[in-house]
Amino acid sequence: MIETIKKNKINIITLIAYVVVFFYNKEIFYKGIRNSWGFIREMIEILPAVMIISGLIGVWVPKEMIVKNFGKDSGLKGKLISVFIGSVSAGPIYAAFPFAQTLLTKGASISNIVIIISSWAVMKIPMLIVEVKFLGFPFAASRYFLTLPGIILLGYLVNKLVHEEDVVINTNSELEVIIEIEEILPGFNCGACGYKNCREYASAIYRKGEEKDLCQPGDSQVINQLKNVQ
């Protein structure tokens, strides 16, 4: 019961807020219901297409391509590609999250995901065109090029503060394989492999196709066992 409440705490808080507003001011309550229905209807129209595209990316785009262009070692190229992807994308910002989650599970770095979402929110080309029309090119260009370094810095900071396992949703089968890999590793959490701990290294092996011989305390038997994990 307590676990169910924790998982649905946002929904419960929202429901309580609606009940309080209903008794406080019915006009505000009904206006909120109309606005909520408008957002729900918009999401119903947009999200199915987004989910289909995200699913196709998950199936058709090789993990190696995602790691190469959006992974932690993609460097400046990855940052620029991320800005471009976010800038040319269409639709409201919430449409970016299924797309971002797909990229994360296929090896994209948190830094580049933050850049994609941020660019999607404030640097979209259609937005820039409208901005030029109403506020002028100097203003739009200044805001655009002052925003860009801020987005890249934000991606860097979030990458330092947040770990992949904190944001990637694991399916049961994924988690089982990651735990299996982690159990093969010595469990020293020494960081010699370049990752924070054995779980993070195990996750990288499964999701990103990381090399299986980076564990320095592990012997040849450990490496052979890792190679046999599918």
Homologous superfamily assigned to 172-228: Electron transport complex subunit B, putative Fe-S cluster (1.10.15.40)
Contacts of 202 (CB under 8 A, 6+ apart): 178, 179, 181, 182, 185
Q: Residue 173: its pLDDT value, please?
A: 62
Q: Are 198 and 188 in contact (CB under 8 A)?
A: yes
Per-residue burial over 111-124, b if 16 or more Cβ lie within 10 Å, else e, is: bbbbbbbbbbebbb
pTM: 0.67
Question: Degrees (nearest 5) of the Cα angle 155, 78, 190?
Answer: 65
Average pLDDT score, the chain: 84
pLDDT digits (tens, 9 = 90+) for 146-183: 999 999 999 999 988 887 666 765 555 677 788 888 88
pLDDT by residue (tens digit) across 87-139? 988 778 888 888 888 888 788 888 999 999 999 998 888 888 889 989 999 99
User: 122 is written with which tokens?
Assistant: 């404030």
Number of C-beta neighbours around residue 71 at 10 A: 24
Question: pLDDT (tens digit, 9 = 90+) per residue, 177-189?
Answer: 888 888 888 888 8
